[in-house]
Amino acid sequence: MSDAPHDKSHDKGQVHVYDDIVEEDNRLPNWWLYTLFGTIVFAVVYWLYYQAYAVDPGPVAAYQAERRAERKAEEARVLAAGEITEEGLVELSKTPAALAEGKKVYAEVCAACHRTDGGGQVGPNLTDSAWIHGGKPLEIARTIRDGVPAKGMLAWGPQLGELKVRAVTAYVLTLRDTNVAGGKPPQGPAVEPAK
């Protein structure tokens, strides 16, 4: 830097000099300006689209709508499956598709407490003919759906939904009276073995 005083007359954009440090007012580069204008336009369009006119309801509402649709579809499937009956559950316990689903649910959530083969661990043996809460198909379905929360058996209805409760009940019906080796001693009154 020269010691000569800065000639201000040549620098139109110059606004401020202090201690020979020159602050100038240059035109901003176009790419910078267009980026700025772009963000402003984007913000306005975004606000109109998502807020002011809500053309798109947004991800939360879309998710809620999806959940509603799922619940309705599940209700329709339960309706189509008809009312739950003793005979219906026995029938289901002979239906391969239902049993396959029931077995899958059992392996995923029930086996931890009732053992993979149903012999019992934390929960009672499901393969003997003693049942604390009744061994009839509807009674078993009710125990699974409503649970026995005070005794550590959760209510599975809200988590699994009615159809999976029926499927896993069907699977439990196939375990009934199989008396697997090494099972937990019987708990609850013995009931007539199922035919």
DSSP label of 118:
S
In the list 84, 110, 170, 173, the residue contacting ligand HEC (rule: CB under 6 A) is 110
Instruction: Choose, by CB under 6 A, the member of 119, 124, 161, 183 that binds ligand HEC.
Output: 124
Could you say whether residue 98 binds ligand HEC (CB under 6 A)? no
H helices of the chain, in order, are 30-46, 58-81, 86-92, 96-105, 111-114, 137-146, 157-160, 162-175
Backbone φ and ψ of 127, nearest 5°: -105, 0
- Per CB under 6 A, does 115 bind ligand HEC? no
Instruction: Determine if 153 is a binding residue for ligand HEC (CB under 6 A).
Output: yes
Beta-bridged to residue 24, according to DSSP, are: 14
Closest to 134 in 3D by CA, of 148, 149, 113 = 148
Contact region with ligand HEC (CB under 6 A), list: 15-23, 30-38, 89-97, 149-157: 149-157
Tokens of 81: 């499956």
User: In terms of CB distance, is 6 or 151 closer to ligand HEC?
Assistant: 151
- Which stretches of the chain bind ligand HEC, using CB under 6 A? 109-110, 112-114, 122-124, 126, 131-133, 140, 143-144, 148, 151-153, 156, 168, 172, 187-188
